[in-house]
Amino acid sequence: MARKLFCELGPWAYQLSLWRVCALRHLQNLRGNETFAREHSAEPLPCLVYAHKSLIRRRLGDVDMRLQENKAVNLGLAAPKVDGVLVRPGETFSFWALVGNCTARKGYLDGLTLSKGRAFAGVGGGLCQFTNLLHWMALHSPLEIAEHHHHDAYDLFPDFGRQVPFGCGTSIQYNNLDYRLFNGTDNTFQFRVWTDDTHLCGKLRAVKPLPFRWHIKEIENRFVREGDGLYRENAIERRTVDPVTGKTCAAEVIRRSHAKVMYDEKYITCQIASL
């Protein structure tokens, strides 16, 4: 039998391991060479790069809708921490450096949290929707993905009004799993984010117009049956387009997913292949 990791000995061991990881990340941030984006501006930068919004309350299988209501509260608390932030040339955007630890003391509620193919309630849960939005906007810009933890080892819920391709999600955990972007351009960018009654809304703006546009497309989407169950596969293609001519200048596959399906296959509408 495989020897257990220290963090697997019990909840106390997991929390102690998590505290250690967070403390190490704090030290790395202090000693590192990164300059984090901190300055905010209430004035929007002149050029709109990309805009997107995502529905806050979604029916996800048999998940308690109370967690969706709580997520709305959590997003409403976190959004002002990021809204208006300027990411200048050479700076790194860090989600946790801006939002901080989402504790009950600060008003955060139990929301949906995903880990190792399971869904459960946790204080501050649901904020991965926030970084999902930021990531989707960043993919339509020249900002470099400096840290991104994927959420696609498992396909937990059937598609319902999906706007963003499967495999474009993010996984975050305070000061352990961060979402970071590096601005290696000579342009300054700005995130504007807010919530309304139904949606988390965002805009990515810049000082100068961009020479290209980026289109994100899902390709090779299929479900396959393997020995231990059903899996979802797809690829995410990113195309660089000349906005004047409309011609594609470059294309690359930025992510391939092979995710175990965790819901009843009756919700799958396309044909299932067998390997």
Domain membership flag for residue 71: yes
Domain membership flag for residue 157: yes
Domain membership flag for residue 202: yes
pLDDT digits (tens, 9 = 90+) for 137-177: 999 999 999 999 987 788 888 877 678 898 899 999 998 99
Please check whether residue 94 is in contact with residue 42, taking contact to mean a CB–CB distance below 8 angstroms.
no
Q: 188 lies in which domain range?
A: 34-210
The number of distinct structural domains making up the chain is 1
How sure is the predictor about 28, in pLDDT bands with cuts at 50, 70 and 90? confident
pLDDT digits (tens, 9 = 90+) for 188-208: 999 999 999 999 999 999 999
Average pLDDT, the chain: 89
Rounded Cα–Cα distance for residues 163 and 52 (Å): 10
Tell me how far the alpha carbon of residue 178 is from its chain's centroid.
Answer: 9
Domain membership flag for residue 4: no
Domain membership flag for residue 161: yes
Domain membership flag for residue 180: yes
How sure is the predictor about 84, in pLDDT bands with cuts at 50, 70 and 90? very high
- The proportion of the chain whose per-residue pLDDT surpasses 70, expressed as a percent, equals 89
pTM, two decimal places: 0.90
pLDDT above 50: residue 6: no
pLDDT digits (tens, 9 = 90+) for 256-267: 999 999 888 888
Domain membership flag for residue 1: no
Q: In the chain, at which residue ranges do the beta strands (DSSP E only) sit? A: 35-36, 47-55, 86-87, 91-94, 110-115, 118-123, 144-147, 154-155, 180-182, 189-195, 199-206, 213-226, 229-241, 248-261, 272-274
pLDDT digits (tens, 9 = 90+) for 218-268: 999 999 999 888 999 999 999 999 999 999 999 999 999 999 998 888 888
Instruction: Tell me the HSE value of 265 on the side-chain side, using a 13 A CA sphere.
Output: 14
Domain membership flag for residue 61: yes
Rounded Cα–Cα distance for residues 178 and 220 (Å): 29
